[in-house]
């Protein structure tokens, strides 16, 4: 919700609902009280398979024709296969989605979304800021500095943002960041 509107934004892209890039914010090591970097095993899954089964038959149209008209030949649309699997990635170590989808396009969309979700979760970075930042919101791109070189070089996106007000610490902000999908090469 923003300004009374419900926003639909694709995760991990760093773009607004209108498609414009969100502003990149910079956070330095001195801004935070604590941080945690985790690197998942990227090779755990090499692909995602989604199965589909097309059970709906197109309705046959009843037609009566009195006179035959010449028509230009149109390319016939190939009928969609009745069932199959859609693979994103490679087939070495795949994650098989347990749901069967109604058609190929739904299976393809689900496999791609799960693959992107797996890729986003490869590296994560948590920061507890010493002073709260009310100007931050989720999906904002973040550039960090003052940490190890691979962390500083990566482009991050805010996935979870928590603002806290307490009598002991005042206004603080904690961030959960994930690396951008197309940006990550770390060993």
3-state SS of the chain is CECCECCCCCCCCCECCCCCECCCEEEEHHHEEEEEEEECCHHHCCEEEEEEECCCCCCCCCCCCCCCCCCCCCCCCCCCCCEEEEEEECCCCEEEEEEEECCHHHHHHHHHHHHHHHHHCCEEEEEEECCCCCCCCCCCEEEEECCCHHHHHCCEEEEEEEEEEECCCEEEEEEEEEECHHHCCCC
Phi–psi pair at 167, nearest 5 degrees: -65, -30
Query: Which region among 110-119, 147-156, 161-170 has the lowest average model confidence (pLDDT)?
Result: 110-119
Pick the more confident residue, 8 or 108: 108
Q: What is the pTM of this model?
A: 0.58
The pair of three-digit structure tokens given for residue 154, joined into one six-digit string: 């990566």
> Where are the domains positioned within the chain?
25-40+121-183, 44-55+77-119
pLDDT value of residue 144: 93
pLDDT tens-digit map of 40-73: 765 677 788 888 887 665 443 333 333 333 445 4
151: exposed, middle or buried (C-beta count within 10 Å: 0-12, 13-18, 19+)? buried
C-alpha dist (Å) from residue 3 to 7, 12, 15, 17: 10, 22, 17, 13
Pick the more confident residue, 90 or 161: 161
CA distance 90 to 78: 27
pLDDT value of residue 88: 72
Q: Which CATH entry fits the domain spanning 25-40+121-183: 2.40.40.20, 3.40.250.10, 2.40.30.150, 3.30.1490.190?
A: 2.40.30.150
Q: What is the mean pLDDT of residues 60-87?
A: 46
Pick the more confident residue, 10 or 4: 4
């Amino acid at each position: 919700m923003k300004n009374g509107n419900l926003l639909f934004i694709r995760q991990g892209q760093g773009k607004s609902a209108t498609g414009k890039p969100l502003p990149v914010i910079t956070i330095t090591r001195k801004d935070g009280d604590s941080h945690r970097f985790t690197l998942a095993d990227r090779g755990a899954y090499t692909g995602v398979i989604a199965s589909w089964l097309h059970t709906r038959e197109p309705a046959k149209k009843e037609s009566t024709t009195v006179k035959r008209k010449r028509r230009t030949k149109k390319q016939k649309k190939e009928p969609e296969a009745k069932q199959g699997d859609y693979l994103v990635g490679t087939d070495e170590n795949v994650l098989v989605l347990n749901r069967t989808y109604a058609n190929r396009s739904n299976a393809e969309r689900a496999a791609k979304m799960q693959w992107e979700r797996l890729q986003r979760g490869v590296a994560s970075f948590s920061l507890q800021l010493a002073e709260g930042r009310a100007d931050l919101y989720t999906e904002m791109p973040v550039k960090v500095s003052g940490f190890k070189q691979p962390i500083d070089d990566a482009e991050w996106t805010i996935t979870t943002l928590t603002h806290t007000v307490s009598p002991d610490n005042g206004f603080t902000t904690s961030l959960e960041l994930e690396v951008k999908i197309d940006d990550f090469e770390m060993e």
